[in-house]
């Protein structure tokens, strides 16, 4: 690409000649205020907030649609520009209801921020404001307040250009212009809630999160969505150790700036749910009874010793991390000595589209296979294990984090087992058949990695804490809490659950059975994966970073242990 030299606010930069001024400035860390421009949408140029002065041009120009040119000299904050911005802000605020104290967007609102930064804070408008509809349920998950809308058209362009459906439109003219859906229609596309994120004001709000918290009361943790094999990058918003919302994080290699509504709404409530498993449980007189960790671990270690190797099967999980699955497959192969190891595929469980949504509704089926949760030589695959249980060949089953009984035909097989150990975060049909249940930490309560369908390894991080994390046994990374919150406690005051990472539970059982796995933290497990599994070779949590990295080779893993 040919590049040009441009001077912005006295600093000369080199920019791709196809860039607009706002893009070139942004690439060099120079921020030009804007409402309607969004890096992932077409340019509409209607808000006029990005007006800049270009030498030798008689009028101010909008930076979002003016391309850079050789020798161009741009001023983004001289008196003329500042005066124009004040005027633009004054116009925006004429009809705005100024209801920040009760607006969900407060604390992360561009209009609020720019008012502090670029407005004189004085209005000459004495007349009555124009009143428009408020609290409109514009779609099943989105509320609309027309008085707060600054008519930037980002939401319309998102639906047209990203979601591929023309569901929103402006009607009327001048200061009576209003956003609306077409008659009889709703904003109900599978990506509808992204308009909440990109609305620069509080006009579009998340119906699920509405009024649950002020954003400055929350901590935010970077992790990945668990709703399908895409692994969209997300930020988990937490207050008092309770997850209140998920929002997308930009990653151009995975999800651009978006996520689907299913991922946003349906992949965190199980963490807070009432049906969480609160402690290990052992079946006594036909009923699962809560017991201490030591008792449950000792019972599993002694029971498993009473079966022949060929009578035991081990099922890892596409919902567990690579660290959990890796230690589990080592335990199955080296401690239990079974070759009957696999996991249930969820590859074609749902809809798929050309935007983000994948048919595989599990987040880590690629990683589970890569780290070695595959049958050994002449070992049984998942279907053969289920068949083996029916035929009485498999008598003991150890399964991680998956509701196996919900899969067609599996429940009836589970009822035939002599001994069944399950790791689970929530109650499920599978637990009806379990002899021992361990309380597993969810993706939001542990460190780890997962591999998406495009072979990209990405991090999960604890967003809420457990007793285990509180004891700092799993290690943790400080989130942006440090920067934004004033609470003394990173996690807030909410309740702690007594759940543990699956790899750690398995390692405790292995130790009682005579094999010591020498890991103290999840990153130590990952370091071993990086040494022993070819496709992970050389990786570390540092290299995976916040946006992930591709696995080395797109071949099946070879575990050298
Ligand atoms: S609702 Fe928000 S995103 Fe849509 S036009 Fe109004 S201000 Fe812009
Ligand atoms: S596309 Fe998949 S990973 Fe992305 S938000 Fe939706 S469910 Fe989550």
Domain annotation covers residue 313: yes
Furthest-apart CA pair in the chain: how many Å? 89
Give 182's DSSP letter: P
Domain count, the chain: 3
Helix, strand counts (H, E) of the chain: 17, 23
Is the distance from CB of 469 to CB of 489 less than 8 angstroms? Answer: no
Residues in the chain: 561
Residue 462: the pLDDT is: 94
Domain annotation covers residue 463: no
Cα–Cα distance, 112 to 297 (Å, whole number): 54
Closest CA to 109 of 76, 150, 144, 153: 150
Residue 101: the pLDDT is: 94
Q: How far is the CA of 113 from the centre of ligand 1 (A)?
A: 16
- Per-residue pLDDT tens digits for 119-142: 988 889 999 999 999 999 999 999
Q: How far is the CA of 362 from the centre of ligand 2 (A)?
A: 10
Cα–Cα distance, 148 to 196 (Å, whole number): 13
CATH of the domain at 230: 3.30.70.20
Cα atoms found within 13 Å of the Cα of residue 352, Cβ hemisphere only: 14
* CA angle at 493 for the pair 490 and 497, rounded to the nearest 5°: 95
Residue 162: the pLDDT is: 98
Closest CA to 454 of 544, 531, 367: 367
Residue 561: the pLDDT is: 39
Q: How far is the CA of 52 from the centre of ligand 1 (A)?
A: 23
Is the distance from CB of 55 to CB of 68 less than 8 angstroms? Answer: no
3-class secondary-structure state, position 354: coil
List the beta bridge partners of residue 178.
171
Domain annotation covers residue 456: no
3-class secondary-structure state, position 154: helix
From the alpha carbon of 266, which atom of ligand 2 is closest? 7
Residue 378: the pLDDT is: 92
Which of 228, 246, 272 terminates a domain? The answer is 272
Which of 241, 272, 303 terminates a domain? The answer is 272
DSSP H/E element including 522: helix 522-532
Cα atoms found within 13 Å of the Cα of residue 65, Cβ hemisphere only: 14
Domain annotation covers residue 230: yes
Is the distance from CB of 30 to CB of 8 less than 8 angstroms? Answer: yes
Q: How far is the CA of 558 from the centre of ligand 1 (A)?
A: 51
Q: How far is the CA of 458 from the centre of ligand 1 (A)?
A: 33
Of the ligands numbered here, which is closest to the C-alpha atom of 353?
2
Claim to verify: residue 255 and residue 285 sit in the same structural domain: no
Q: Is 236 left (phi over 0), alpha (psi -120 to 50) or beta?
A: beta
Residue nearest to atom 3 of ligand 1 (CA): 199
Claim to verify: residue 385 and residue 506 sit in the same structural domain: yes
Claim to verify: residue 9 and residue 135 sit in the same structural domain: no
Residue among 190, 224, 267 whose CB has most ligand 2 atoms within 8 A, to mutate:
267
Q: How far is the CA of 159 from the centre of ligand 2 (A)?
A: 17
Pocket of ligand 2 (CB under 6 A): 225, 227-228, 230-232, 255, 259-260, 262-263, 356-358
Residue among 151, 193, 197 whose CB has most ligand 1 atoms within 8 A, to mutate:
151
CATH of the domain at 35: 3.10.20.740
CATH of the domain at 373: 3.40.50.740
Claim to verify: residue 342 and residue 435 sit in the same structural domain: yes
Claim to verify: residue 223 and residue 304 sit in the same structural domain: no
Residue 487: the pLDDT is: 40
Cα–Cα distance, 532 to 393 (Å, whole number): 32
Cα–Cα distance, 64 to 162 (Å, whole number): 19
Is the distance from CB of 125 to CB of 98 less than 8 angstroms? Answer: no
DSSP H/E element including 6: strand 3-8
Residue nearest to atom 1 of ligand 2 (CA): 357
Of the ligands numbered here, which is closest to the C-alpha atom of 38?
1
Residue among 255, 257, 258, 458 whose CB has most ligand 2 atoms within 8 A, to mutate:
255
Domain annotation covers residue 457: no
CA-to-CA dists, residue 463 to 218, 222, 456, 492, angstroms: 11, 8, 21, 11
Pocket of ligand 1 (CB under 6 A): 149-155, 179, 199-201, 203-204
3-class secondary-structure state, position 282: strand
- Return the sign of the alpha-carbon dihedral for residues 211, 215, 216, 218: positive
Give the strand pairing for 312-315 and 396-400: parallel
Residue among 49, 132, 155, 159 whose CB has most ligand 1 atoms within 8 A, to mutate:
155
Q: How far is the CA of 195 from the centre of ligand 1 (A)?
A: 8
Residue 476: the pLDDT is: 45
Claim to verify: residue 254 and residue 285 sit in the same structural domain: no
Is the distance from CB of 234 to CB of 194 less than 8 angstroms? Answer: no
Cα atoms found within 13 Å of the Cα of residue 538, Cβ hemisphere only: 6
Q: How far is the CA of 193 from the centre of ligand 1 (A)?
A: 13
From the alpha carbon of 151, which atom of ligand 1 is closest? 5
Q: How far is the CA of 135 from the centre of ligand 2 (A)?
A: 28
Residue among 36, 132, 203, 257 whose CB has most ligand 1 atoms within 8 A, to mutate:
203
Is the distance from CB of 413 to CB of 384 less than 8 angstroms? Answer: no
Closest CA to 522 of 543, 501, 498: 501
Residue 472: the pLDDT is: 55
Closest CA to 213 of 118, 112, 105: 105
- Provide the strand spans (E) within 38-195: 51-54, 61-62, 73-75, 136-139, 142-144, 168-171, 178-181
* Helix ranges restricted to H, 260-418: 261-266, 269-272, 293-304, 322-330, 365-370, 382-390, 410-414
Q: How far is the CA of 493 from the centre of ligand 2 (A)?
A: 30
* Residue 508: other Cβ atoms inside 10 A: 20
CA-to-CA dists, residue 493 to 144, 218, 240, 337, angstroms: 33, 12, 5, 44
Claim to verify: residue 226 and residue 153 sit in the same structural domain: yes
- Per-residue pLDDT tens digits for 431-488: 999 999 999 999 999 999 999 999 999 999 999 988 877 765 344 444 444 433 334 3
Q: How far is the CA of 232 from the centre of ligand 2 (A)?
A: 5
* Helix ranges restricted to H, 159-205: 194-198
Domain annotation covers residue 301: yes
Tokens of 542: 């540092």
Tokens of 251: 């990653």
Q: How far is the CA of 196 from the centre of ligand 1 (A)?
A: 9
Per run of 10 residues, the mean pLDDT along the chain (length 561 residues) is: 93 97 97 98 97 97 98 97 96 94 95 94 89 97 98 98 97 96 95 98 98 94 97 96 96 98 97 94 97 98 96 98 98 97 87 96 97 95 97 98 94 97 97 98 96 98 86 48 42 78 97 94 96 96 97 57 39
* Helix ranges restricted to H, 236-352: 261-266, 269-272, 293-304, 322-330
Residue nearest to atom 4 of ligand 2 (CA): 232
3-class secondary-structure state, position 331: helix
Claim to verify: residue 256 and residue 354 sit in the same structural domain: no
CA-to-CA dists, residue 430 to 214, 290, 357, angstroms: 38, 17, 27
Closest CA to 249 of 546, 529, 21: 546
Return the percent helix, strand and coil in the chain, to nearest 5.
30, 20, 50
Residue nearest to atom 8 of ligand 1 (CA): 152
Domain annotation covers residue 389: yes
From the alpha carbon of 452, which atom of ligand 2 is closest? 3
Domain annotation covers residue 90: no
From the alpha carbon of 156, which atom of ligand 1 is closest? 4
DSSP H/E element including 509: helix 502-512
Please name the residues in contact with 58: beta carbons below 8 A apart, sequence gap of 6 or more: none
Claim to verify: residue 140 and residue 265 sit in the same structural domain: yes
Give the strand pairing for 341-342 and 312-315: parallel
Claim to verify: residue 400 and residue 343 sit in the same structural domain: yes
DSSP string, 196-217: HHH-SSTTEEETTTTTS--GGG
Of the ligands numbered here, which is closest to the C-alpha atom of 234?
2
Which of 214, 245, 272 terminates a domain? The answer is 272
Of the ligands numbered here, which is closest to the C-alpha atom of 147?
1
Residue among 194, 229, 232, 235 whose CB has most ligand 2 atoms within 8 A, to mutate:
232
Claim to verify: residue 374 and residue 519 sit in the same structural domain: yes
Range of the domain at 377: 281-443+499-536
Claim to verify: residue 287 and residue 430 sit in the same structural domain: yes
Is the distance from CB of 368 to CB of 332 less than 8 angstroms? Answer: no
Residue 467: the pLDDT is: 84
From the alpha carbon of 144, which atom of ligand 1 is closest? 1
């Amino acid at each position: 690409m040919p590049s040009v030299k441009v001077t912005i606010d006295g600093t000369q930069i080199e920019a791709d000649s196809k860039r607009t001024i706002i893009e070139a400035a942004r690439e060099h860390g120079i921020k030009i205020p804007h409402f309607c421009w969004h890096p992932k949408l077409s340019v509409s140029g209607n808000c006029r907030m990005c007006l800049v002065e270009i030498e030798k041009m008689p009028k101010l120009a909008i930076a979002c649609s003016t391309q850079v040119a050789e020798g161009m000299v741009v001023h983004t904050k001289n008196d003329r520009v500042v005066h124009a911005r004040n005027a633009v802000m004054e116009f925006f605020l004429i009809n705005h209801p100024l209801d920040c104290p009760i607006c969900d967007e407060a604390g992360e609102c561009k209009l609020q921020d720019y008012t502090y930064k670029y407005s004189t804070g004085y209005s000459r408008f004495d007349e009555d404001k124009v009143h428009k509809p408020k609290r409109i349920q514009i779609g099943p998950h989105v509320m609309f307040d027309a008085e707060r809308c600054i008519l930037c058209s980002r939401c319309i362009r998102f639906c047209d250009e990203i979601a591929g459906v023309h569901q929103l439109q402006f009607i009327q003219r001048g200061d009576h212009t209003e956003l609306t859906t077409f008659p009889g229609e709703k904003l109900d596309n599978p990506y509808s809630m992204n308009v909440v994120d990109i609305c620069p004001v509080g006009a579009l709000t998340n119906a699920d999160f509405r009024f649950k918290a002020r954003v400055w009361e929350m901590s935010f943790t970077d992790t990945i969505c668990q709703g399908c094999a895409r692994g969209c990058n997300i930020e988990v918003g937490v207050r008092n150790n309770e997850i209140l919302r998920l929002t997308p994080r930009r990653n151009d290699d995975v999800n651009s700036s978006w996520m689907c509504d299913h991922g946003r709404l349906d992949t965190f409530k199980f963490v807070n749910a009432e049906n969480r498993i609160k402690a290990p449980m052992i079946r006594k007189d036909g009923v699962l009874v809560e017991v201490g960790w030591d008792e449950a671990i000792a019972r599993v270690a002694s029971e498993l010793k009473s079966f022949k190797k060929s009578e035991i099967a081990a099922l890892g999980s596409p919902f567990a991390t690579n660290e959990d699955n890796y230690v589990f497959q080592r335990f199955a192969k080296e401690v239990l000595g079974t070759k009957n190891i696999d996991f249930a595929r969820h590859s074609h469980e749902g809809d798929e589209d050309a935007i983000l949504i994948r048919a595989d509704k599990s987040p880590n089926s690629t990683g589970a296979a890569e780290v070695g949760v595959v049958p050994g030589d002449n070992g049984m695959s998942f279907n053969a294990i289920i068949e083996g249980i029916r035929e009485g060949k498999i008598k003991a089953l150890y399964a991680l984090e998956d509701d196996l009984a919900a899969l067609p035909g599996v429940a009836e097989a589970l009822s035939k087992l002599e001994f069944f150990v399950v790791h689970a975060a929530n109650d499920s049909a599978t637990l009806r058949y379990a002899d021992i249940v361990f309380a597993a930490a969810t993706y939001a309560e542990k460190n780890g990695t997962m591999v998406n369908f495009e072979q990209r390894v990405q991090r999960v991080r604890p967003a809420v804490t457990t007793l285990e994390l509180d004891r700092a046994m799993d290690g943790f990374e400080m989130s942006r809490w440090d920067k934004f919150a004033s609470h003394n406690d990173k996690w807030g005051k909410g309740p702690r659950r007594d759940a543990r990472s699956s790899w750690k539970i398995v390692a405790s059982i292995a130790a009682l059975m005579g094999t010591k796995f020498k890991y103290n933290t999840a990153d130590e497990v990952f370091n071993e994966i990086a040494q022993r599994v070819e496709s992970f070779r050389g990786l570390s949590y540092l290299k995976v970073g916040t946006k992930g990295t591709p696995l080395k080779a797109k071949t099946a893993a070879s575990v050298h242990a």
